[in-house]
Amino acid sequence: MSEYLPGLEGVPATKSNISDIDGEKGILAYRGYAIEELAEHSGFEETTLLLLDGQLPNSQELAIFKQQLRDNYRVKFQIREMMRYMPPNGHPMEMLQSSVASLGMFYPGNECLTGSDLCEDLNYVHNMSVKIIARMATLVAMWEQIRGGYDPVEPRNDLNYAENFLYMLTGKEPDPFLAKIMDTCLVLHAEHTINASTFAALVTGSTLASPYGVIAAAIGTLSGPLHGGANERVVEMLKEIGSPERVEDWLDEKLANKEKIWGMGHREYKVRDPRAPILQGLMEKLAKHKGGKNSPLFDTAVALEVAAEERLAKKGVYANVDYYSGILYSEMGIPLDQFTSIFAVSRAAGWLAHWREQLADNRIFRPTQVYVGEPLREFVSIDKR
Ligand code: COA
């Protein structure tokens, strides 16, 4: 019997050529391209196509893909009606998980998932990926309007993905500077090897469930505070600290009580997550754009990171992607409970790239367990218990 490793730490669960992490050197690459280069030079649509197809598209391929997404931004009115009956104080990730699952009824497509082991129809896989990625932002933005008591803002076909997302979220013409920041955030969050939510997507995909079921499973998994939900907690934590002067005492008390510092630590990285400095740089640019003064939240975050590094670097615990993303979204005026949904909008690209890879060489996931329960015993009737 093989050794049981809690959390499957270090256990390879798949073979993949989509992305790679060097956790000692702090390197993340999608299809061989460093995340720093993609953040600087690429956009969400191009990065998504890179993840799905394995190659950077030429300009014609990219234009076709952008058009395909735009043609699928809209959703049927019944989905709006369904959302109207959801409680306005419900969490957006629960809305998103339910709504994505419901897309399967409105835009079905299981023709490739017939029970044979392989799905080699790349058109089918591509079209389903487009249908889902295009609508993720629409669902998140619709909910923002509906829970506030408004009708959803119709998507606009003249805007790129990030611009249209901000436009639908706020109902206002998107500021090009903020749209560029959003675009870069979408690139940074699009993929991250076989993390918990991607693993959930693979397991679900391996049963030949519909891609909507695959993405709904991944969304549920992403929602937890140990995964995508951490960015919300980071902002709550920084608000609780209040100012840079309070950082040291607050941190010492938390660590003495063995509490988690949100947005810190990673199973794979033993150095700073390479996405953290990019997000920190965006935060600095945003502060300049807003008139040059850092927000108290950002100053507190910088002070906390320095203090945490002094105490936690010996354990290989450094800032991760969630540390600065929440602050950035907060400074962009995005409500706290939508941060993880934005993460999901972007990560759908990676999840679907892994779904495609899984279908091309599928075998249902069925691990084993170490049974530690009772040995076989006789049933005791209820009057004798
Ligand atoms: N704050 C304080 N200490 C932390 C920590 C954190 N955020 N993350 C890890 N540590 C410490 C642990 O207490 C443990 O210390 P010990 O050896 O003295 O017991 C050590 O570092 C190893 O941590 P462990 O929990 O075994 O790591 P993991 O690989 O199982 O967990 C995370 C990884 C991401 C779940 C974990 O770091 C965490 O909970 N971080 C906060 C949540 C978060 O930001 N999640 C988003 C990830 S992108």
Instruction: Provide the mean pLDDT of the chain.
Output: 94
Same domain, 51 and 128: yes
CB of 267 sitting under 6 A from ligand 1:
yes
Same domain, 175 and 220: yes
> Residues of the chain with pLDDT > 70: what percent?
98
DSSP, collapsed to helix, strand or coil, labels residue 29 as strand
List pLDDT tens digits, range 340-368.
Answer: 999 999 999 999 999 999 999 999 999 99
Distances, alpha carbon 190 to alpha carbons 2, 29, 30, 196, 236, in Å: 34, 11, 9, 14, 24
Nearest-CA residue for ligand 1 atom 42 is: 226
Same domain, 22 and 121: yes
Nearest-CA residue for ligand 1 atom 9 is: 265
Q: Which residues are catalytic?
A: 266, 322
How far is Cα 278 from Cα 166, in angstroms, rounded to an integer?
A: 21
How far is Cα 266 from Cα 193, in angstroms, rounded to an integer?
A: 13
The confidence band for 148, taking pLDDT boundaries of 50, 70 and 90, is very high
CATH of the domain at 94: 1.10.580.10
DSSP, collapsed to helix, strand or coil, labels residue 32 as coil
Residue 239 has pLDDT above 90, yes or no: yes
**CA 373 / ligand 1 centre spacing (Å):** 29
Report the nearest atom of ligand 1 relative to the CA of 263: 44
DSSP letter at 17 equals S
> Of 195-199, 207-211, 225-229, which has the strongest mean pLDDT?
195-199
Task: Flag whether 385 is in a domain.
Answer: no
Same domain, 293 and 240: yes
Task: Flag whether 336 is in a domain.
Answer: no
Domain, as residue range, for 273: 230-331
Can you list the alpha helix ranges (DSSP code H) found in the chain? Answer: 35-41, 44-53, 59-71, 77-84, 92-106, 122-147, 161-170, 176-189, 196-206, 211-222, 230-241, 247-256, 275-289, 296-312, 321-331, 339-360
Task: Flag whether 271 is in a domain.
Answer: yes
pLDDT at 1: 54
* Mutation choice for ligand 1 from 264, 269, 314, CB with most ligand atoms inside 8 A: 264
Same domain, 105 and 247: no
Task: Flag whether 367 is in a domain.
Answer: no
CATH of the domain at 290: 1.10.230.10
Same domain, 168 and 134: yes
Q: What is the pTM of this model?
A: 0.94
Query: Which of 123 and 45 is assigned the larger pLDDT?
Result: 45
Residue 101's nearest CA partner among 210, 201, 11 is 210
List pLDDT tens digits, range 327-336.
Answer: 999 999 999 9
Task: Flag whether 384 is in a domain.
Answer: no
CB of 260 sitting under 6 A from ligand 1:
yes
The confidence band for 117, taking pLDDT boundaries of 50, 70 and 90, is low
CB of 251 sitting under 6 A from ligand 1:
no
Same domain, 140 and 157: yes
Q: Please state the domain count of the chain.
A: 2
Torsion of CA 320, 38, 342, 24, to 10 degrees: -20
Task: Flag whether 340 is in a domain.
Answer: no
CB of 229 sitting under 6 A from ligand 1:
no
DSSP letters of 227-269?
Answer: TTTHHHHHHHHHHHH-SGGGHHHHHHHHHHTT---TTB--SS-
Residue 183 has pLDDT above 90, yes or no: yes
List pLDDT tens digits, range 201-215.
Answer: 999 999 999 999 999
* Mutation choice for ligand 1 from 28, 315, 321, 343, CB with most ligand atoms inside 8 A: 315
Same domain, 211 and 68: yes
Report the nearest atom of ligand 1 relative to the CA of 264: 7
The confidence band for 118, taking pLDDT boundaries of 50, 70 and 90, is low
Same domain, 190 and 244: no
List pLDDT tens digits, range 265-289.
Answer: 998 999 999 999 999 999 999 999 9
Task: Flag whether 377 is in a domain.
Answer: no
Residue 102 has pLDDT above 60, yes or no: yes
**pLDDT (average), residues 97-123:** 82
Task: Flag whether 4 is in a domain.
Answer: no
Same domain, 300 and 152: no
Nearest-CA residue for ligand 1 atom 27 is: 267
Same domain, 160 and 260: no
Same domain, 33 and 165: yes
